[in-house]
Amino acid sequence: MRLTLRVWRQPGADAPGAMVTYPLDGISEDMSFLEMLDTLNEELILKGDEPVAFDHDCREGICGACGVVINGDAHGPERTTTCQLHMRHFADGDTIDVEPWRAGAFPVVRDLVVDRSAFDRIIGSGGYITAPTGAAPEAHATPVPKPDADFAFEHAECIGCGACVAACPNGSAMLFTSAKVNHLNVLPQGAPERETRVLDMVATMDEEGFGGCTLAGECATACPKGIPLPSIAAMNKEWLRAARRGAR
């Protein structure tokens, strides 16, 4: 395959950036998108040019580190992570635009790399449970109804990649935050921090500069793990419940 890549190049957080065009030949349709970027970087290094910086880790769709915007879509044309997107989804002769996540709360570090530590601070403000020391309890010591377990597992699938923020026209982190709140709040182990968790995590989300949610739905469409849009409504219900009790 012959491709024309238009890649966002930005040498640093405070430096201006621009789209730079690179012709690329000999790309196999069986390559992953990141392998294609590896091929580009090999060519750039051989020419003595600076390679394109991009995030990755597991390359198995597990860690969520690899996200970029491809032709305007978070993670590209398929509902998967960038590392699991293959070049067979593009055609010979295509022009492909590759950009970093675009959100005020995700400042660009370099090229396609953004600082997503705002997510870490949201989790740190309430994404935990009271953990007693000692031996692990018996598996059936704390029964959990199956609907609650299914709900918790569904939301625990969030990998924190940030596609929801990148896809949202407002740069909102409501889908991410709701996934982290809901998967703990529905379980008995998460009950002690249930009210403080949702209040603190939402407050931290707002402090980090994420936009407001207007239920555009792009977040759920882009989510590679299928976190559902009603997750936001469930978190809003938790927040109202906690706010009312706190007001008493």
Quick: pLDDT tens for 218-233.
999 999 999 999 999 9
- pLDDT at residue 61 in the model: 93
The CATH number of domain 116-245 is 1.10.1060.10: yes
Question: The whole model's pTM is what?
Answer: 0.93
- What's the mean pLDDT in 150-172? 96
Lowest model confidence (mean pLDDT) among 70-74, 189-193, 234-238: 189-193
Q: Contact at 8 Å (CB) between 102 and 167?
A: no
Looking at residue 21, the DSSP 8-state letter turns out to be: E
Q: Beta strands of 29-167 (E only): which ranges?
A: 69-70, 73-74, 95-99, 108-110, 113-114
Domain boundaries defined on the chain: 3-110, 116-245
E strand residue ranges, the chain: 3-9, 18-24, 69-70, 73-74, 95-99, 108-110, 113-114
- The answer as to CATH 3.10.20.30 being correct for domain 3-110 is yes
Q: How confident is the model at residue 248 (pLDDT cuts 50, 70, 90)?
A: very low
Which pLDDT score is estimated for 212?
94
- Segment 72-100 mean pLDDT: 96
Q: What are phi and psi of 55, to 5 degrees?
A: -85, 145
Closest CA to 163 of 205, 206, 119: 119
Residue 246: what pLDDT?
73
